[in-house]
Amino acid sequence: MRRRFQIIGLVLAVLGLVFLVAGGVAFAKSQEGYRSLEKFSAAQNVTLSYDEEGRLIDRGTPEGAQAILDMLRNEWGYPVNEAELDPADPLVNTPTEYMYQMATIVYHVRHGEQTVVLTEDVEYDGQVFPAGEYTITPIEVGSPERVAAGLGGYWTDFDRLHPIEGPARNQAWSGTVHGLVAELGVGTTTATMVQLATALAGAFAGMGLVSLVAGIGFLWVARGREETLVVIPTDTRPEPAGV
């Protein structure tokens, strides 16, 4: 029995050490990724704006920031983590901050105005568009159902062959906008993976610590004195005479 306890204890202790080392390596790698992401964000100097009361603002007002957060939560379904919106650290380097910055760009693209100038009359789909200047707001572009639901203005909502919507789409959804959105999407994914790696490092370390303690416990028990089990009969009455 003692030998078995020793084997089990030794195995658990070794596994515990392996998990602890794996947790340490995973944590070190996650911190390397975080530092790299931090330096990349600092090099770009992209920060969020807060007022004197520590409220997130957009173009000078907390209402503007709230509208963007509402789109991020309700329209995109992103679980905003308010703790990651820290006025003491305005640098964009957390998943929520990256997603908020992405939503800021998209929000202003959809709510901005685009002006298209026709130098001559154009007929399209049975309708004539006289020469002149046209101003449209992207969020009002799209199918009636999407516009009514406040979902208009995305890239796919524009009719690229339309004499007004086609040029307006290229103006609103420029290559710069697409590039920034893609870059921020990569930042969101990277920051999320760093957080996941840190959590996995903690899980490995926790499992290793439990296994190591259990292994040491088994080894400690196995070092105790091995006792012999003595069976004491429960019926000690003498046998009847003449049996």
Per-residue pLDDT in tens (0 to 9) along the chain, 243 residues: 777 778 888 888 888 899 899 899 988 988 888 888 889 889 989 899 999 999 999 999 999 999 999 999 999 999 999 999 999 999 999 999 999 999 999 999 999 999 999 999 999 999 999 999 999 999 999 999 999 999 999 999 999 999 999 999 999 999 999 999 999 999 899 898 888 889 989 998 999 999 889 888 888 877 765 555 555 666 656 666 655
Mean confidence (pLDDT) of the chain: 89
The b-or-e profile of 61-73 (16+ CB within 10 A means b, else e) is eeebbeebbebbe
**Domain range summary for the chain, segments of one domain joined by +:** 2-112+153-220
To which H or E segment does residue 57 belong?
strand 56-57
Query: Which pLDDT score, from 0 to 100, does residue 218 have?
Result: 81
Query: Which pLDDT score, from 0 to 100, does residue 240 have?
Result: 64
Cα distances (angstroms) measured from residue 76 to each of 69, 97, 154, 156, 181: 10, 15, 13, 16, 14
Burial of 179 (0-12, 13-18, 19+ CB in 10 A): exposed
CA distance 208 to 125: 69
Tell me the pTM.
0.81
pLDDT (tens digit, 9 = 90+) per residue, 195-212? 888 998 999 899 999 988
String of DSSP letters for 194-208: HHHHHHHHHHHHHHH
